[in-house]
Amino acid sequence: MASPPPEARLTDYERIREENIRRNKTILASLRRKAAELSATIPPSSPKRRKYQRRAKPASPAGPVVLRRSLRTRGVPPGESSASAGANTSLAEPPSPPELRTTRFSSSLASSLRDAAAAAEPPPGPEGGICAADGFDPGRELVLRRTNARRVVPDRILSVRILPLADRTVVVTGDKLGHIGFWDVDGLVEDDEDGDGADGVFLYFPHRGSVGGIVAHPTAPQKIYSSSYHGEICLMDVEKESFNTIHLCDYPIFSLCQAPDSHSSLYFAEGNDLKLFDERTGKVSTTWNLHDHRINSIDFRPENPYMFATSSTDRTVCIWDMRSMQKKGPKSLKVLDYNRAIQSAYFSPSGSMLATTSLDDTVRIFNLDNFDDSCVLDHNNKTGRWLSTFKAIWSWNDNNLFVGNMKRGIDVISVDRSQKSLSASYTAFLESEYMTAIPCRFSLHPYKVGHLAGASSTGKVFVWTRA
């Protein structure tokens, strides 16, 4: 028996649906034919190409931007911290200041710098030399007064230096945004139309990156050099109160040092290379590749202008003799190995010892006559990314070291060489209600025993003096 056709098995609804589908297909086919015929009658047109104009590069400033304003006139609260403290600003452009105002040095400070420039010889050592400081007891004599705590720069301080001026205390600091701040600690408040500088603080903006080094030689204290992680070396013109860029590098400059016998010879660490720059010729005369990673400190041995020490992130401290160094593959006199990066290696005032600070949470002291004669002190150096790393520095004699403490204080380490072997211990902890931040970097006044400046990551400086 024959089966009925497919249409006979469909319901009325399905039959109407099939008819609609066939009708729609017919309409679509008719529309496609008409579209094809219409497109054939229109000639094709080439699409217009967009014209691109080369964007003009913004004109670069002739020199570094200079910001000269006191903190008081900027309205910066003393306890305020920067919101960008954790940002990587080694090569980033710092934000432009909201306003530019001129702040001149006080007449007395400018006069001191000019008088220092006119002096042919540096003043005598601290109160007759380091031997005069043998009886100095920092744990008992040092105090911090309320007037000696001041915010000098807006952000975290990476470098601090007390200028070698015999008649006053002037602290120069550099922060991670590129500011250079001067604090005339002994300056008198002077009448000024704008009131600028009345607090003794003068702020400049010469660098585009973190200020890693500030130096001023005792024979030429008016020549203030600074370097940055942006690869810049600047020299301040004291008369014009402006900074001149005297050298540019391709890589960050992490440390800066002057030769003890020449204020125009600058040694700086560009990454893991040590370079000698002569300010008189404006050129780098020699380059040595000394470490596998960045060099964190450079220090010359007192009374010996040829011997110096370098510390590095490659976990070594090296001692070098300039007279035997070759340009290619220089060999060191001594290599000290560590388990972690070393942040500093500084000679004692007499040059007989070397103190190092490492991220392995130690402070080590070596006898240069016998490196096996050494001592190790445990010290919490885990400052993290928000604080500048600790760097232990020597006192005015070989008896003491100063190093920052995470408890907002200063550890005083006493060193004893009277016995057969070298020994050291913590003998004092300097703390004060006025030290409201952790002091990380330090500088001593070269001519005033008892003037110690500690710099913090909040831009504050604390100057301790004798009671």
Tens digits of residue pLDDT in 373-399: 999 999 999 999 899 999 999 999 999
Structure token digits, residue 190: 């002077």
pTM, full prediction? 0.76
Residue 92 — pLDDT band, cuts 50, 70, 90? Answer: very low
Question: Cβ contacts of residue 346 below 8 Å, gap of 6+?
Answer: 297, 299, 309, 354, 355, 391, 392, 393, 394
Instruction: Please give the Cα distance from 396 to 408 (Å, whole number).
Output: 23
The one-letter amino acid at 412: V
Residue 83 — pLDDT band, cuts 50, 70, 90? Answer: very low
Tens digits of residue pLDDT in 225-241: 999 999 999 999 887 88
pLDDT at position 47, please? Answer: 44
The lowest-confidence range among 80-84, 346-350, 456-460 is: 80-84
Residue 304 — pLDDT band, cuts 50, 70, 90? Answer: confident
Residue 61 has pLDDT above 60, yes or no: no
Residue 2 has pLDDT above 70, yes or no: no
Q: In terms of Cα–Cα distance, which of 216, 219, 247, 217 is closest to 231?
A: 247
Q: Hey, which bits of 359-438 come out as E strands?
A: 362-367, 370-378, 393-394, 400-405, 409-416, 423-430
Residue 158 has pLDDT above 50, yes or no: yes
Tens digits of residue pLDDT in 114-143: 777 676 566 665 544 454 566 889 999 999
pLDDT at position 328, please? Answer: 86
Quote the percentage of the chain above a pLDDT of 70: 78
What's the mean pLDDT in 429-455? 96
Residue 372 — pLDDT band, cuts 50, 70, 90? Answer: very high
Give the chain's mean pLDDT.
Answer: 83
